[in-house]
Every structure is written in C-alpha cells, then in structure tokens.
C-alpha cells in the first residue's frame, strides 16, 4: 500500500495528514503554535516554531499510522499564504520573525504606493491590490527596518520566502529555495500570465531579485526530505497555497466551481478556468494552480477573520473551547439586534480597509452571551455573503451552491446561518481537511500516481445545509450589517 503525506501549515497550527491515494485519512497530527501581537495591528510567528511544529506533526502522523517513510509515495505542502520570512542563505538562520498575512504594519507604505498612482499597474500584472495583506510591502518594510538587510540581500546572502519556501528549505537542508506559482501569485511581485517574477515591479519597489525563490509548477520536483528527518528521504512533489489546495481538495476543477474555507480567515475561491478574469468589487485574480503543465486561475474574496472571531471569544473567556460556540449560539433564535464586525485586522474584500477595527453594535440590557456568540457567527457569514454578492455581480459568476471546509465548517449551526445569509445550499464534504487533501493530491499528481481527471469521482458530500430564511428577513439583516460595517471602517485612522 502506498500513501501521500500532506503538510498543512496553517495560521494557528501545523498539521500533517497521511492519506491513501483515494483521499482516505489514515492518520492526523496537529500542533498549535504561538501568535505574537507586539503592537496593535501587528501579527508575528516564530519561524522556528513553524518549522519545529510542522516537523513534529509529520513524524507524529507517520508514527500514529504505523507507516514507514518508504511507504510514502510523495509529500505535498499547503501553507498559510503571504506570510513573509527572511533568512541567511549560509546558515538558514532566520533574520526576523515571520510577518503574518494579517499584519497591518505596512498600511502607510501601501498608501504611499497608491499615491504614486501605481495601483493600476500592480493590479494588471499581479491581479492583487495595494494592501498590507500581500508579501511585497512586508518585505520592503524588512529591507528598510532590519539593519544591514538590504546590503546583504543585494550581495545574495539572504533568502526571502513565504511559508512553503521556508518549509522546503528546512525539509531539504537548504538545497531547495523554491516556491510554486500559487504562492508566488500572492506576493504582489509575480506576473499572473507569464508566470515569472515581474522585473518592472521589482525595480519599482527596489527589491533585489537575488532574494527570490525559483518558481516551479505546483506538481513540480521540489527535491526530497533530508534522510534524517522522517527516517528516509521522501520526494516532495506538490506545493500549493492553502486556499488553492482546498479548491483542489474540493475537486472544484471546472470554471464556475468554488469553495469557501473557514479557518482563521475565510476565503471564497471560484475557479475561472484557463484565463485570468478581472472583476470589480474588491475581488482578487489569482492562480488556482499549475498542474499537468497548465495554469488555472481563480477569483478570490478574502475575509481576514472567520475562526479567529471564535478564537477571540475563547480568549476573552466567553467560551472554553471553540466548538462550544455552537451550543451557546443555539440558545437564542437570533442575535437580538447585535452585529459583530470581526474587523480585528482590518477588512479584506470587498472593502479593503486596513484601518477598520472590530466592532460590536446594538448592545442592550437584554443582550446575553448567547447573542454575542450568534452575532460572531453571523458576522463571519455576512462577510462571506458580501464577497459572494460581489462574485455574483461579476458577470455570470454567481454561485449555485457553496462547498465549505476548514475548522469552522464543523459547526452545523454556522453552516445553516451561512446558507440562510447566502440564499444558496452549503455542502460539506466527507473530508473537511480539504486543504491537506489538495496538497496530497497535488503530490500524487506530481508523482504520476493520480491525474486531475481522477479527482471529481473521489469527492464525497457528507451534509447539505439548505437556506430557509425568507428573502425579506435576509435583506433586513444585510441592511443592518452594512450600517455596522460603515461604523467599523477607518477606526484606527481617526482619533
């Protein structure tokens, strides 16, 4: 029997899952790691903790399965995207904490670029917007703020990478400094159509090319793991950003098929086929994957906070464990007029306001804990609903049903609320670890054991949540939501 090992390096935890070729889960191991918030709006991870937790999870998944490394056909990586790391080429020593995708410290850098009239150029080349979310301004900040970094980068002594690149570097003992086009497409430095680093954008930002990893296809040859790490070398044959991996893991292969992954954030991706599609409404154009010699593209609506809102309820003591949010929120029929705008790290699509901050509005003396819990779930569902409307507005790209996955998709009440607020059915697959599944499948394709055409037959529905809310009620709730969002916008800039 042969297996595929997926590493899923998420924002809050590192997971490893061993799958059969058909996508059955054999063993799972997961380790959470620390989130650091050194200043308001900043979010950092310790690069060593990312690596060590991921390595532990990989070993532990094999141990739990009782499977030796020689039975693993290939390893695939899916990772939190955009998070920016720099390390020494000679020693692999990291030179600064990882600046996480949620980090807002480069809001003013983005503004300065916008004032220079550069947004149109960046959008046309990369499909993205000038927002602190993406890697380029984080890297620029590092080059400006870390003493000596720019000079060393120009001399070729420093490596930049997103988390996939950092894991590849460590898995191969520094032999491979590479990324795939989906991760590269989130940096603001990658040309969406030529699938190469954009020399003009690099020049405009003053980013030395010597920093950048080599770009290989998502099912490319990424070397093999050092023999000592997992007991024997394992070929690394798949790399995808986690949201793109989930799109693949949901077998959303054709144009018009989409999914939403509810992890730390929520990311709605719609496959648009072999050509990039540019849409209004704050949607991003991005790579879906580069597999079997062909690129596929997607439209993305990025919502920065989903499960993180539930995590926050836990941290402030409203819940013991995340899953308790469901029973608490079920104690009430609705949120009692409370709106929870989870803009803890600004707003992504469709608003793109790095200065927005979280808000809870409509509190009365009758508000109880259950209302807050329900309002938090609704806040995430409204946020995704707004993104779905934006997609529906982009000619002919309305969703007929939404495939859901990620940590929050285990919550039945949340998916009922989401179906109600979207007005379309929400489908949950049997394997909700679709991010890991997509990474495993990409590696299976890379190893020649699977083809894209095999995947739809391997996807299985587990549950279906149908919309039951009357249209008028939905519209009234959205009116309230829009008023609440207006109040949260620009908060960190005022005052």
Ligand X SMILES: O=P(O)(O)OC[C@H](O)CO
Ligand Y SMILES: Nc1ncnc2c1ncn2[C@@H]1O[C@H](COP(=O)(O)OP(=O)(O)O)[C@@H](O)[C@H]1O
Contacts with ligand Y by CB under 6 A lie at 10-13, 263-264, 307-308, 310-311, 322-323, 325-326, 406-408, 410-411, 414
- Phi and psi, residue 323, nearest 5°: -65, -20
Compute how many other C-beta atoms are within 10 angstroms of the C-beta atom of residue 314: 15
Instruction: Answer yes or no: is 438 a known binding residue.
Output: no
Nearer to ligand X, 54 or 225 (CB): 54
Smallest gap from Cβ 223 to ligand Y, in A, equals 25
Nearer to ligand Y, 46 or 454 (CB): 46
* Calpha distance 458→377 (Å, rounded): 31
Residue 286 is a binding residue for ligand X (CB under 6 A): no
The answer for 102, left when phi > 0, alpha when psi is -120 to 50, beta otherwise, is alpha
User: Residue with CB nearest ligand Y?
Assistant: 407
Per partner kind, with CB cut-offs from 5 to 8 A, the member of ligand X, ligand Y, none near residue 323 is ligand Y
Residue 135 is a binding residue for ligand X (CB under 6 A): no
Instruction: Answer yes or no: is 264 a known binding residue.
Output: yes
Instruction: Answer yes or no: is 15 a known binding residue.
Output: yes
Sheet holding 25-32, edge to edge: 25-32, 13-20, 3-9, 72-79, 236-241
Smallest gap from Cβ 209 to ligand Y, in A, equals 31
Per partner kind, with CB cut-offs from 5 to 8 A, the member of ligand Y, ligand X, none near residue 13 is ligand Y
Instruction: Answer yes or no: is 462 a known binding residue.
Output: no
- Phi and psi, residue 389, nearest 5°: -65, -40
Residue 82 is a binding residue for ligand X (CB under 6 A): yes
Single out the residue of 101, 344, 355, 481 in contact with ligand X (rule: CB under 6 A): 101
Q: Per-residue x/- mask for ligand X, residues 1 to 40, rule CB under 6 A?
A: ---------xx-----------------------------
* Calpha distance 225→209 (Å, rounded): 26
Smallest gap from Cβ 216 to ligand Y, in A, equals 24
Per partner kind, with CB cut-offs from 5 to 8 A, the member of ligand Y, ligand X, none near residue 311 is ligand Y
Smallest gap from Cβ 204 to ligand Y, in A, equals 32
Q: Per-residue x/- mask for ligand X, residues 252 to 271, rule CB under 6 A?
A: ---------x-xxx------
Residue 243 is a binding residue for ligand X (CB under 6 A): yes
Nearer to ligand Y, 373 or 390 (CB): 373
* Calpha distance 219→237 (Å, rounded): 6
Residue 353 is a binding residue for ligand X (CB under 6 A): no
Smallest gap from Cβ 247 to ligand X, in A, equals 12
- Phi and psi, residue 86, nearest 5°: -135, 140
Residue 433 is a binding residue for ligand X (CB under 6 A): no
User: Residue with CB nearest ligand X?
Assistant: 263
* Calpha distance 322→406 (Å, rounded): 13
Per partner kind, with CB cut-offs from 5 to 8 A, the member of ligand X, ligand Y, none near residue 325 is ligand Y
Q: Is the peptide bond before 350 cis (omega within 30 degrees of 0)?
A: yes
Smallest gap from Cβ 281 to ligand Y, in A, equals 24
Name the segment binding ligand X (CB under 6 A); options: 76-84, 118-126, 200-208, 314-322: 76-84
Instruction: Answer yes or no: is 12 a known binding residue.
Output: yes
- Convert 388-408 to b/e letters by CB count within 10 Å (16 or more is b): bbbbeebeebebebbbbbbbb
Smallest gap from Cβ 365 to ligand X, in A, equals 36
Residue 242 is a binding residue for ligand X (CB under 6 A): yes
Name the segment binding ligand X (CB under 6 A); options: 74-82, 189-197, 230-238, 390-398: 74-82
Compute how many other C-beta atoms are within 10 angstroms of the C-beta atom of residue 271: 22
Per partner kind, with CB cut-offs from 5 to 8 A, the member of ligand X, ligand Y, none near residue 446 is none
Instruction: Answer yes or no: is 11 a known binding residue.
Output: yes
Per partner kind, with CB cut-offs from 5 to 8 A, the member of ligand Y, ligand X, none near residue 81 is ligand X
User: What token pair was written down for 390?
Assistant: 């934006």
Per partner kind, with CB cut-offs from 5 to 8 A, the member of ligand X, ligand Y, none near residue 408 is ligand Y
Nearer to ligand X, 224 or 300 (CB): 300
Give the residues lining the site for ligand X (CB under 6 A). Answer: 10-11, 80-82, 101, 241-243, 261, 263-265
* Residue numbers belonging to the annotated binding site for ADP: 11, 15, 264, 307, 407, 411
* Residue numbers belonging to the annotated binding site: 11-13, 15, 81-82, 133, 242-243, 264, 307, 407, 411
């Amino acid at each position: 029997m042969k297996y595929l090992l997926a590493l899923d390096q998420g924002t809050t935890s590192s997971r490893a899952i061993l799958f059969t070729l058909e996508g059955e889960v054999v063993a799972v191991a997961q380790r959470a790691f620390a989130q650091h918030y050194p200043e308001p709006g900043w979010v950092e991870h310790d690069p060593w903790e990312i690596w060590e937790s991921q390595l532990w999870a990989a070993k532990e998944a094999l141990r739990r399965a009782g499977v030796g490394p020689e039975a693993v056909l290939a390893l695939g990586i899916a990772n939190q995207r955009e998070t920016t790391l720099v390390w020494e080429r000679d020693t692999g020593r990291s030179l600064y904490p990882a600046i996480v995708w949620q980090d807002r410290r480069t809001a003013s850098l983005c503004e300065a670029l916008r004032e220079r009239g550069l947004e149109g150029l960046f959008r046309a080349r990369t499909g993205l917007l000038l927002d602190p979310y993406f890697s380029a301004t984080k890297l620029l900040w590092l080059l400006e703020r870390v003493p000596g970094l720019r000079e060393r980068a120009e001399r070729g002594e420093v490596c930049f990478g997103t988390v996939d690149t950092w894991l590849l570097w460590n898995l191969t003992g520094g032999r491979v400094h590479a990324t795939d086009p989906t991760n590269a497409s989130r940096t603001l430095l990658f040309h969406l159509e030529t699938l190469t680093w954009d020399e003009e954008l690099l020049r405009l930002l003053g980013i030395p090319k010597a920093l950048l990893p080599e770009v290989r296809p998502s099912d490319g040859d990424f070397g093999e793991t050092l023999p000592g790490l997992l007991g024997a070398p394992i070929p690394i044959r798949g790399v995808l950003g986690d949201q793109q991996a989930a799109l693949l893991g949901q077998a959303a292969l054709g144009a018009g098929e989409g999914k939403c992954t509810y992890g730390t954030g929520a990311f709605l991706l719609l496959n648009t086929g072999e050509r990039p599609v540019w849409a209004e409404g704050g949607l991003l154009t991005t790579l879906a994957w580069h597999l079997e010699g062909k690129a596929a593209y997607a439209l993305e609506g990025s919502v920065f906070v989903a499960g993180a809102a539930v995590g926050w309820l836990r941290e402030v003591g409203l819940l013991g464990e995340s899953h308790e949010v469901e029973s608490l929120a079920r104690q009430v029929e609705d949120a009692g007029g409370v709106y929870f705008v989870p803009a803890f790290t600004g707003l992504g699509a469709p608003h793109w306001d790095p200065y927005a901050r979280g808000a809870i509005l409509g509190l009365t003396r009758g508000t109880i804990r259950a209302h807050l819990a329900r309002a938090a779930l609704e806040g995430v569902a409204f946020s995704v609903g707004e993104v779905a409307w934006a997609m529906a507005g982009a000619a002919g790209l309305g969703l007929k049903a939404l495939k859901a996955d990620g940590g929050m998709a285990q919550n039945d009440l949340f998916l009922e609320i989401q179906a109600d607020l979207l007005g379309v059915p929400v489908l949950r697959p049997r394997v909700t670890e679709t991010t890991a599944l997509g990474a495993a499948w990409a590696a299976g394709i890379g190893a020649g054991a699977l083809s894209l055409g095999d995947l739809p037959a391997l996807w299985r529905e587990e549950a279906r949540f149908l919309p039951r809310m009357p249209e008028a009620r939905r519209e009234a709730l959205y009116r309230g939501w829009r008023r609440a969002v207006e109040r949260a916008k620009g908060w960190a800039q005022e005052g």
